[in-house]
Every structure is written in C-alpha cells, then in structure tokens.
Amino acid sequence: MADILSRGTNFPHELVEEMINAVRGKSTLARLSGRKPMAFSGTDAFVFTLDREVDLVDENGPKTKGGATVTPKKMVPLKFEYGSRVSDEFIYCAEEKRMEYLRTFLEGYAAKMARGMDLAAMHGVNPRTGTAAQLIGNNCLDNAIIAANKITATNDPDTDIESAVAKVIAAEHEVTGIAVSPAEAAALAQLKVNGVKQYPELAWGGTPEQLNGKQFDVNSTVAAAKAYVGNFRDFFYWGYADDIKFEVIEYGNPDNDATLGDLKGHNQVYIRAEMYVGWGILDPNAFAAVVAE
C-alpha cells in the first residue's frame, strides 16, 4: 500500500475492475454498447460498406467487380481528471483505513466518470463546464447524428420513437438500444390507449433494462435530446486505457482554489485520479434522435 502514496502511480489493480464495472453500470452508452478494448495510443476501426449485391455466377462464367468503401474511424482516448481534498489522516492511518478512503473515492469517481462520458460522447461538452469541447468536435451523438437523423418531438412520444426507429431501419441498420431522458420516460409511462397504460414498466419511475425487446435505459444525461435510438452494440465503440493514474499531493493548491488555499496549512492532502477514455461513432446513420425544437 505504500506505493499508492507515490506520485503518478496507478490505482491498485483490484480497484480498477470495480471502477470499470461501476462505470458500465451507471453510463447509458457503456451499458448499451458494451466495452471494447482500446490501446493507449488510440484504436482504428474500419467500417466496410460493400457497394453492390452478391453476384450469381454461371459455371465457367466471368466474375464481375463487387467493390467496397472502407472508412477508417480513429478513437483517441481523452484524459478525464477528478480530484478531491481529504484530511491528511489519509497518509498516516492504517492500511485498511487508507483502502477505505480509496474505495469511497473510487465509488464517487466511477459515478462521475460514467456521467462524464455520457455528457461528452452524447453532447460534445466538457462535463464540468457544460461548454463545447474542441477536443471532441463532431465525435458525439448530437453533432454526428442530429443534423441528418433527427425527429422533431411531438406530443406523442411513442410515435416519435417509432419514427426514429424507422429512420435507422431505412438506413439498413438494426436498432439494438434506446436511451431516453427522464421526461420522455415519464411521458411514455403516462401514455394510455382506451384507459390502459402502454408502458406499465415505466410507471412510478421504473427503469427496465429492456423494453419491446430492445436494450433500454433512462438517464438525465440524455436530456439535451429526448431519446436516442440505434445500433449501439455494433456502431458505438468505447474503451479505456489500462492504467488509471493516481496521485496524492501534500503541498500547494492543486485545484487552484483561492478560498481553500494551501493544503499543508489546512492539514489536507489532495487525491487526484486521471483516466483515459475514448469512443467512436462508426456510422452516424446507425442512430437517430428525438429532439425538442
């Protein structure tokens, strides 16, 4: 455990998998897609579009050109950082107590990472500031798909989602998952036909993992839209670099907070974690969104 106190070391291995499992459980995009391995320097994925139908060839007959369009997609891990001040008791307490500190910090970090990845990959923003991140550019659902593949929301959420699904299917893609905002889930929960609720699974804030045979998730991170539908399983990739850097800072003002001031002067240390996460939208036409005008 002493190594944990050195600068720039990695999180203990036994805690990393716990964290990633927590991220998958709390992130809509991670849960709908499933994690893909990602190299530290980035991963290239290739989308093959076969240009023609298969050819029926007579015995001894000539074969003709098929052809394929290959589109590379680069997924570059981006650094996500979070830090927190804690009592300097962390340095001096027993190993078991330090591990307790770390687990508590890790639980919070996993939840923030999950939410942060959704906000960044859905909306292209820095999660902390809420402003557009140049590092992300168009590698987010809003910028990649909404311009071409959006459905303007009406007062009928069921029809809106059906229309979004139809748009994905028209592009010859499969819909494997649906993510909706809490407001959209509430609207679906209240939908009745002849007095009968059409989605009783959503009543009273229910969050079923599947709905109408599709993976389903409700998350406030969706709220800039109302719903996303698409083939998350095959066309949204994400992954993380193996090492999650961990640092304990004993001096100075590492969070640049003028009010909190110097760590040593307040009997504090600063715990900082850094994680590299990357994602890629392999084909924007595999997704559609319901958007309020």
At 204, which CATH number?
3.30.2400.10
* pLDDT on residue 15: 62
In the prediction, which pLDDT does 94 show?
78
> Mutual orientation of helices 13-26 and 95-123 as an angle, nearest 10°?
40
The two structure tokens encoding residue 207 = 């969050």
| pLDDT at residue 229 tops 90 | yes
* Domain assignment of residue 197, given as a range: 2-291
What distance lies between CA 28 and its chain's CA centroid?
6
Q: What is the pLDDT of residue 5?
A: 38
What confidence score (pLDDT) does residue 44 get? 66
Q: Is 228 exposed, middle or buried (0-12, 13-18, 19+ CB in 10 A)?
A: buried
Is residue 230's pLDDT more than 70?
yes
252-280 pLDDT, tens digit each: 888 888 888 888 888 888 888 888 888 98
Are 268 and 86 in contact, with CB atoms under 8 Å apart? Answer: yes
User: Would you place residue 185 in the very low, low, confident or very high pLDDT band (cuts 50, 70, 90)?
Assistant: very high
How sure is the predictor about 41, in pLDDT bands with cuts at 50, 70 and 90?
Answer: low
Domain count, the chain: 1
Give the largest Cα separation in the chain, rounded: 87
Neighbours of 41 (CB within 10 A): 9
pLDDT score at 67: 59
- Residue pair 162/291 in contact (Cβ under 8 Å)? The answer is no
Sign of CA dihedral 164, 165, 170, 175: positive
